[in-house]
Each structure stands twice: as C-alpha cells, then as structure tokens.
Structure 1
Amino acid sequence: MDTAIRVLVVDDSNFYAQLVADTLSTDYDMETLTGNNAREGLDSLETSEVDCVVTDYQMPDLDGIEFLEAARERGFEQPFILLTGTGSEAVASEAVAAGVTHYFQKNEGDQQFEKLANQIDNAVEQRRTEKKYELLVDNSPDLIAQINADGEFVMANQSMADSFDATPEELAGKSVADLAPEDIAEKRLSVGREVIETGETRRFEDGYNGDYFHNVFVPVDLPGERATCQVIARNITDRKKAEIELKETVEKLEESNAQLEQFAYVASHDLQEPLRMVSSYMQLLERQYGDKLDEDAQEFIDYAVDGADRMKQMINDLLQYSRVDTRGGDFEQTDFESVLEQALDNLQVAIAESDAEITHDSLPTVVGDESQLAMLLQNLVSNAIKYCDEGPPRIHVTAERDGDEYVFAVSDNGIGISEDNLEEVFRIFGRLHGKDEYSGTGIGLAMCQKIVDRHGGTIRVESAPGEGSTFYFTLPVGGVEDE
C-alpha cells in the first residue's frame, strides 16, 4: 500500500474520527489528519496536502454531501468516501448523484477498516492515474477535446481552447458549429455522430484559415454517461505546406524535363542539319578549290570542319545526357560483373591500343538499369585509359557493402586531379585540359553523376596530381523504384 497516501477524516464524533485516523495510520501506513465538521474539513483542504477525504454523512451545519459540494465549488477534486450509520438507499442515491467516490456504512463488522483502507487505496490510485492523464492532455501540443453527438464540447485541453481564442471553461457547452466554418463543422459533426453510433475510430484530414489538421475521432462510452467521442487534432500545417511545395517543385521539374526533352528533339533534328551543311560545304570548297588555296586558307577550312564535328559531338552527348532520366530503361536485377564485361567489350580498341590492364574483385548483383550502368563503367574506364601518360593504364574495380548500399571503386594510375578540381570534373562540359591535349567534350563524368543520381546513389573522386584517381560511387543494395 502507498505510504504516501494522506487522508483527511471528518466526523462530528471526535472519538470515531480519531479511531478511524489512528487505525488507518497504524495498520495501513497512511498519513492522517482529522476534523470535527465540514468547516474544519474545508480549512484542512486549504492548508494541507490531502489525497482522499473520509467524511461522515450526518454532521451539523453541512452534512457530508454538502461538504463535498462545497469542496468541489472551491476547486478541490480529491476522492470523497462517505461514511454513514444507516443503509438508506435514498442517501446512497443522493451520494452517487453528488459524485461521491465510495459509499461506506459504518460498523460493517471486523473487516470494516480493511474495506475502508482498500477503498481509499483504490480511489487514490485511480485519481492519480486520472491526474497523470489530465496532465498529459493539458500539456499536449495536440488539440484534444470530448464532444457529444450534438457537437457540444464536454471538455477541451488548453491547446484546443487556444485554437479558438478561448479558455477550456469557455468552450464547455459550446458547439463545433458555432466555432468552425460551416463546411468543416458539418464534416466533423457527421464524423463524430458516426463514431458514436458505430463505435469505430475514424481518421481524416481537413483545414481552414491556412491551417491543416490530422484528426482522430475515438468513441467514448462510459457507464452512466452519455456516449461521446474524443477528438485529437494535430496541426500538420508545416508538413502540408512542405507537401504542397514539394508537389509544386515536382511539377516544375516535370515541366523542365519536358522542355529539356523538347530541346533534345530539336538538337537531334534541327541543329544537326546546319552543322552538316557547314561541314559539307567546307569539304566541297576544299575539293573544288583546294589547289588554289594557300596554306592559311587550308588551315581555316580544317578548323571549320573540326569545329563543326566537335559541335555535332557535343550536341549528341548533350542529347544522350538529357535522356538519362526520360529515356532510361527499367530497373532489374543486374549482375555487375556482366555490366563490366559489356563496358570492356565496348572499349576493346582503346584497351588494345593502350595495352591497358583492367582487373576486378568479385562484384555483386544490384537492381538498376543495365545499359546505363554499363555506360557508367565505360565512361570511368575510358577516362582512366585516356588520362594515363606514363606506362600502360592499370585499372582496378572493387565493391564493398556498407549498410544498405554498395560502395564501388574504380582506381587508376593516371595523371590525377588537383584538389581544387575534384568537384569541377563532374560539371557538364567541365574540361580541365585543352582539346589538343585530350580529346572529348567533357560530359562523360557529368553523365556518370546523372546515372548514379537516377539510381539513388552518390559519386565522388579521391585524387592527387601524379598519383592516379579513385572514383567511388554508391548504389542501394535493394535498388530504388524506377518512376
């Protein structure tokens, strides 16, 4: 039994009050104090901490029930146990109606004090549980209330009251229809009645005045009380606004992708024709007037043809880059060793000419777009071959699992990259060397990044001039849904 229970015993018989107090203190480890009438009892409630009141029914001035009513008017909510010397049903009914916690008849035999102690213990424990719940509700940021089938507030916590610029006491008895916009009130009242009638919990979202709420309506059906439902409304305005912003961003991105796709179409058709004309007429000019052109004129023609060819290649590369997201294949179980084989088959000539050696550890199976992953490896291996000046290229491919992803590494013995340019290399058309030093348009690593992004991974490089480079990229173990 809780030794912290503090009991106030009020009885106009000083002898009986002291007998009850001493017995509860001695036999049941309760702290007690006494009073001989209701006035003394009210004074004790004002000045002392009391967990439970045990009061006689028949007392001068104020009887036990009037004592309870006076205490409640002053805001005291301790459980009251009424002691009476008679077993009158009328008194019992009046006591229950007034809110007495227990009704106890004096002189119920040798076990009367044990029964009284158990009633006190149960009443205090129940009240403490209720206080914890009330404390939780009152301090919750969620809007919590109890409403009846007419939509009237039976109770409300501070957060709910604040949402209507009122106090919890001011909300009691008011209807949802008087406080919320008509359409919102009608929806909530309809759901509330349905919950009360069916006894089933309902969840839904609504909003007004720029705020959005996730609502939970729970049926409450307690014996002797009118059926109601508990309303828990969580303000989800920040989340909802973020969802709206995300939706708008996605729509803008989709529009941007559509424009990019349109540009890709134009690039693959309309822009190619002028370049072909420039190149063709330059070559025609060379054939017809070559013997009449001096060395400078011939050089100019070569520059023009080379420029047209490089522009055509850049347009083709840009077209391929733009289609990584819009024209990608389905994501499927893909053997990465097979992916590497495809990449190396496409690079047979470059490998043979450079005498490159490509090795690899055991590579896993991932979920992805096989053709794009082959392009990813092909670009990385091709760069490793291209940017190797001293000795034959030596390239090694590995993969290790790290939690929910695989970390792939492609290492080479090439010229390396300075620290200032480790991010620049992934920029579209980002070239660190002139076209006379190394061929290409500078879009290969940008393409790699876009492919990895589509697969839900990341890519980075570790390098230093003269020490080779290692490109790391990650892929989720289970892959991601291809949208």
Structure 2
Amino acid sequence: MSPGISVLCVDDDPDVRSLTATALERTSDELDVATASGSREALDRLANGDDPDCIVSDYDMPELNGLELLEAVRKEDSDLPFILFTGKGSEEIASEAISAGVTDYLQKGSGLDRYAVLANRIENAVDRRRTARARRESERELERYRTLVESMSDPMYVLDETGRCTVANEAFCELVDADHERILGTHISAFISRASLERGVKTVRRLHESGRESDRFEVTVEGDDGERWIGEANVTVLTDERGERTGSTAVIRDITERKQRIRELGQYEAIVETAPIGLFAVDGDGYLRWHNEEFTNDLGIERDIVGTHFQELVDDGFVPEQILDNYLDRVRHLLSSANDDEHIAYEMEWNNAKGERGVTEFNIGLLPLEDGEFTGTVHAFRNVTERVEYREELERQNQRLEQFVSIVSHDLRNPLNVAQGHLDLLETECDHDSIEETRWAIDRMEELIDDLLALARYGRTVADRERIELAELANAAWACVDTAEANLVISLEGTITGHEGRVRELLENLFRNAIEHGGEDVTVTVGRITDDGDGAGFFVADNGSGLPETGDIFEFGHTTAADGTGFGLGIVAEIADAHGWQISASESVDGGARFEIRKATTLEGERSAE
C-alpha cells in the first residue's frame, strides 16, 4: 500500500460525502480525504493548487455531472486517477464512463465493505500511477537486471528504495500466485508475512551500514488457501554512483520442507517428554535405548537405565513379566506383509507387591527399518485401572437400571391393570363422579410410568448409531401424535446420525409440547440450522403462545399445563445429551417456541410438507 495518499471526494450530498470520507480514512491509515460539495468546488480547488492523488466522484450532481467533471480534469491532468463512485448505476453509465477514460467505476452499497473495496481501488490506482512514473524514470537501470532475473529458476525480485517491486521473474510470480502487472509497483509487504518484512528491512539496513555484499533472512509466503511457503532470501543492496541505497534484490531458495522437519521434530520431542504416559524404545537386541521421564516416574526407577537390557527391568520387579509374553509373536505380526497394522494395543491385568489389582494399557509399534532389517520397537503404556473399574461399575449400574425398568414395567403395571379392570366392573354397577376421578388418576399414573421408562431407556449414551432420514422420521413421529387440526411443515431434507427410536421419541415430545401449549391448530416447522459457529443441526418451531416466562423448561417436573407430567421436555434434553447434542429454547419468529438441536450435522436441502 502506498503511503500518504490524498483523495478528493466530490459529492453533492453532505451526509454521503461525510460518510465516504470517514469510512475511507478508517479503512486505511494512509488515506487523507478532502471533500468538495460539487464539481465547481472541485475544479476551484484544483485551480488553486490542490494536487490530490485520486479523485472519487459521484455521477448525478447539479451543474456538472461526474463524467463532465472527469472531462474537465483530464484537460489538465491526463493520468490523474479518477474513480466514479455512484449510487445511480447502469450499463449505459458504466460504458460511457469507460469510454470517457475513467480509472475505475464502482457502485455504492449499504455495507461498509463497499468502502473497503473503494479504498483498495484507490490504493491500486495511485500505486499504478506512481509505479508508472517510477518505471519511466528507472527503465534504463532495470534493464540491466531483467535478463538475469527472468533466466533464474529460483524466485527473484528487485525492489526500489521504498520497497515496491520493480522486477520479478516468473518463478516469483508463480510463488505468490500473481501476474507481473499485479506485482510491479506493489509493495513487497503484499506478498510476504509481516515478520518476514521486518527481518528483510533489518537485513538490508545492516548490509548498507556495514558495506557487506550480501546476507540472508527467512521469508514466509502465505497463499490464499492458507498454505505456508518458507524460503531463505539471499539479499543484495543496490546503490547508485554516490553510494546511496536505491533498492535491493533477492533470490529465494525453498526451505519449507527443512523448516517443517525441524518444527515437527521439536513438536514430537515436546510431546513425548510431556506426555502423561510412559514411552520407551527397545533396540533389536532388547536393550533400552530411550525413554521419557514419565516412564521412570511411573515405575519408580531412580537410576539411569538407558543401555539396560529390558530383561533386567523384569528381573528387578519394575516391569511385569507378562509384558515379555508373546513379544516375539507381536513383532512378527507387525513385520508380516499379510497385514497393514502399524501398532498393536492390548491390556494387561496384574497385581502389585501389596496384592492390589492393576490394569495397564500397552501399545507397541516398530521403529523404522534400516535396509529392511528390524531395529527395535517403541512402546507406550498407561495405567487404566480407574477407567476399567469405572467401566465395570457403569456396566453394573446399567444392569441395575435394567432391573429397575423391569420392576417398573411389570410390578407396577400389573396392579394398575388390576385396578383398571375393577374400575371397569364398578362402572357397570353404578354411576358416580368418583369413578371418573379414579380413572383420571390411573391414567395419570400410567403416563408417569411411561415417562419414567422413557428416561431409563433414553438417558443412556448412544453408542450404536445409524444414518436417519430426518424428514421421513419427522413424518413418522407426527403420525404417532394426536395432532388434531395442527399442521407440520418440513423445510429440510438429508440425514443425521443417531438412534432412530430415541430421535423419534425426541420429535414426538416436541410435537406434543407444541400442540399442548400452542393449540390444536398450531403450525409446527422442522428446519435445518447451518453452522454459524455454534454447530449445525435442526430446529422445531411453532407459532403458538411462546415459552413460559420463568423456570427451566427442561427441568424434570416443570410444567405449565394442568394435567402435564413435566417429563416431556426433560426427556427431550436427556435424549439430546445422550447423543452429544446441545438443545436450547427461544422465541420463534412467529412468537411461539423454537427448540434448536445443535451438533447434529444435517445435509443441506429443502422440502415442504403438511
């Protein structure tokens, strides 16, 4: 970007004029914007000595329009950048502007991004003009380098004293993915990282002050796709006959792979030294060649053991003898061409000196072969006793939960069925208000049992998942609900992964909630949520009465309905949590309720149905 760009903004609308000037100066610290209320004032300013680097003019103005102003300016300065920035755009105006020799043409817009585009156009236009002037002044000097630069296979460039590119070979153009026209006259900071620019400036200044011929600095280029290219620039200072610095030239050698290897090595070293697991390597003869600190800490070894045969660690009681069992078989398996396994993982149960049970997880892999020969193995281990015990306890809890479900399903429903049967017999014998109240109480107890069973079934983490057509499942869930006169609109299609039965239960509960609180003629919509930073997913919304003002609607027992159990939305939250999804409630665009289920990725699509 060129420093010190003065801009004259011409617009008869004072608000637009002020906004344009303010926005441009905020967009770029290098822009200094003056304003004129019309073409006459602009011409008067030019006649009185104002010398802007660029004019930005509206089209539709009294007295002289933008193109008439351009014609008057061109009579005095044939190459002064002139950008037509107008809200009254048409192909006719654009064509007329181009024919009249306007530098650039840009329509106004409502967003501030238009001013960023305008600032960029101004800078590019001014840079091109300055570059053209500089090129004419230094063409003779540049010709000496042109043949050399273009003949080199390594990227090479020449900069003037301000840091703008005056020469660049084809290899440099390919490196920064830009053509010569884009590069020439553009400051080198547009193509290399800020840190690289600072290193380059210091290197050139140091070279000039010391009188040395050349020096090197590291340069990083980042492409539009985020890919980083790292090179080593061999830079030389250019001077005139008086010894004054006139620029610099550099040849860049690719060191991306070397730097990447160095970084990866450093990362791996940091990882293995700080990893909360024991790591060690054994050579082909069974001697310990390397280990991290966690290895000796975990085993309680305080002496230096590098170079010790692994059998000695077993004999000293530091390592269970079982670890050597089947070692050779595992190595043969990894070396075999009959499989593609890169490592083997296994668990081993053992007892320490106090007789306490422990479980260790081992991973074994091969060290890189040398000329096809076995060189040893690398091992990782960690104590997973707590994890195994937790898993076993979880299995026991699940068994108890299954027993609870069985009791609820059988031992509680049987008495209810007996009571229901006797109530039916009693109803044939007499007519009393208490019969209806009793029937309501029995139905209420059955609803509570159903909800408790749903919590028991659906609150567990989902392990086995399948691809589900969400639109089809929504229609199936809708068919299982007493929907009265309600309408269903499905505005998505695609799949999610989950447990079909649980997801259907989730949708059924949301549909019932919408009908219970939104009325029998409510409209329920199921739609897709794109990933806006909080995760993609789907929503269920209605145009009913909205959410209650107080209380956590997902809390078990929370209900605003006189005959509600307060379990429906609690079950919805449990099912979502079991899938690893996130659920939230808010007001819908129609004033009803909107439930969003995020982290449940859906495929994009659109479908409507009732």
1:350 Cα deviation after fit? 1.7
For 2:362, which of 211, 214, 218 is the aligned residue? 214
Pick closer, same or farther for the CA change 1:193–1:408 going to 2, 3 Å: closer
For 1:378 and 1:467, how far apart are their aligned partners in 2?
A: 21
Alignment deviations for residues 55-106 of structure 1 (CA, whole Å, 9 cap, x no partner): xxxxxxxxxxxxxxxxxxxxxxxxxxxxxxxxxxxxxxxxxxxxxxxxxxxx
Provide the C-alpha distance between the structure 2 equivalents of 1:414 and 1:196, rounded to a whole number of angstroms.
70
Match 1:461 to one of 581, 585, 596: 585
1:420 to 2:551 alignment: yes
| SS at 1:366 equivalent | strand
Q: In structure 2, how many angstroms separate the alpha carbons of the residues matched to 1:221 and 1:358?
A: 63
Pair 154,311 (structure 1): closer, same or farther in 2 beyond 3 Å: closer
The alpha carbon displacement at 1:324 in A equals 4.8
- The counterpart of 1:359, out of the listed 489, 495, 500, is 489
Q: What is the CA-CA distance between 1:373 and the residue it aligns to? A: 4.2
**Conservation of the 8 A alpha-carbon contact between 2:553 and 2:559:** no
Q: Under a length normalisation based on structure 1, what TM-score does the superposition of the two structures give?
A: 0.50
Opposite residue 559 of structure 2, the aligned amino acid is R
8 Å contact kept, 1:337–1:364: yes
The separation in 1 between residues aligned to 2:499 and 2:293, in whole angstroms, is 55
User: Which residues of 2 match residues 215-294 of structure 1 at below 5 A?
Assistant: 215-216=363-364, 218=366, 230=376, 232-237=378-383, 240-266=384-410, 269-277=413-421, 279-280=423-424, 282-284=426-428, 286-287=430-431
Question: Structure 2 residue aligned with 1:388, among 504, 518, 521?
Answer: 518
**C-alpha contact 2:301 2:318 (8 A) present in aligned 1:** no
Q: Does 1:443 align with 2:567?
A: yes
Give the deviation of 1:368 after TM superposition. 4.9
The whole-number CA distance in structure 2 between the counterparts of 1:460 and 1:268 is: 34
Q: What's 2:560 paired with?
A: 432
TM-score by length of 2: 0.41
Instruction: Kindly state the Cα deviation for residue 245 of structure 1 after the two structures are TM-superposed.
Output: 3.9
Aligned partners of 1:454, 1:157: CA distance in 2, in Å?
Answer: 38
How far does residue 471 in structure 1 lie from its aligned partner after superposition? 1.4
Distance 1:397 1:253 in 2: 36
> Are residues 1:378 and 2:508 paired?
yes
Distance 1:262 1:175, change over 3 A: same
Cα gap change, 1:160/1:228 in structure 2, threshold over 3 Å: closer, same or farther? farther
Q: Per-residue CA shift, 1:208-237, capped at 9, x if unaligned?
A: 5447363546569999xxx99655443412
Say whether the 8 Å CA contact 2:522–2:542 is kept in structure 1. Answer: no
* Residue type at the aligned position of 1:247: R
Q: In structure 1, give the amino acid aligned to 2:302.
A: A
**CA distance, structure 1, for counterparts of residue 333 and residue 440 of structure 2:** 82
Whole-Å separation in 1 of the counterparts to 2:334 and 2:444: 74
Structure 1's unaligned 5+ residue stretches are 1-128, 288-297
Change (3 A) 1:176 1:359: closer
1:167 maps to which of 303, 310, 316: 303
CA distance in structure 2 between the partners assigned to 1:216 and 1:421 by the alignment:
50
What is the Cα-based RMSD across aligned positions, in Å? Answer: 4.9
Q: Counterpart of 2:327?
A: 191
Q: Aligned equivalents of 1:179 and 1:172: distance in 2?
A: 12
Which of these two proteins has the greater Rg computed from alpha carbons? 1
Q: 2 CA distance for matches of 1:343 and 1:198? A: 50
Q: CA deviation at 1:380?
A: 2.0
Label 1:172 to 1:335 Cα distance change in 2 as closer, same or farther (>3 A). Answer: closer
The structure in which a higher percent of residues are helix is 1
Match of 1:140 in 2: 273
SS state at 2:525 partner: strand
| Count of matched residue positions in the alignment of Structure 1 and Structure 2 | 316
Deviation digits for residues 403-442 of structure 1 (CA, Å, limit 9, x no counterpart): 8742223233215212423332xx2x4433433xxxx433
Q: What is the match of residue 126 of structure 1?
A: none
Specify the alignment match of 1:179 in structure 2: 316
CA 1:145/1:300 → structure 2, altered by over 3 Å: closer, same or farther? closer
Equivalent position SS for 2:566: coil
2:290 and 2:498 map into 1 onto residues whose CA distance is: 56
In structure 2, relative to structure 1, the CA distance for the partners of 1:186 and 1:319 (3 Å cut) is: closer
> 1:213/1:246 Cα in 2 relative to 1: closer, same or farther (>3 Å)?
closer
Shift of 1:469: 1.6
Q: Partner of 1:477: helix, strand, or coil? A: coil
**Aligned-pair CA distance for 1:192:** 6.5
C-alpha deviations, 1:139-181, integer Å up to 9, x for none?
A: 83544355674x5657777665553533226974782343236
- Does structure 2 retain, via aligned residues, the 8 Å contact 1:176–1:189? no
Would you say the 8 A contact 1:388–1:413 is kept in 2? yes
Contact 2:559 2:565 in 1 (8 A): yes
- Counterpart in the other structure of 2:537: 406
Residue of structure 2 equivalent to 1:310: 444
- Change in Cα spacing, 1:180 to 1:430, as seen in structure 2 (3 Å) is same
Give the gaps of 5 or more residues in structure 2: 1-261, 337-341, 353-357, 604-610
Shift in CA distance, 377/471, structure 1 to aligned 2, threshold 3 Å:
same
Aligned partners of 1:154, 1:160: CA distance in 2, in Å? 13
C-alpha separation in 2, matches of 1:416 and 1:198: 60
| C-alpha distance 324-242 of structure 1, shift in aligned 2 (>3 A) | same
Aligned-partner SS, 1:395? strand
Measure, in 2, the Cα distance between the counterparts of 1:197 and 1:469: 59
Alpha-carbon deviation of 1:369? 5.4
For the residues of structure 2 that align with 1:423 and 1:317, how far apart are their CA atoms?
A: 14
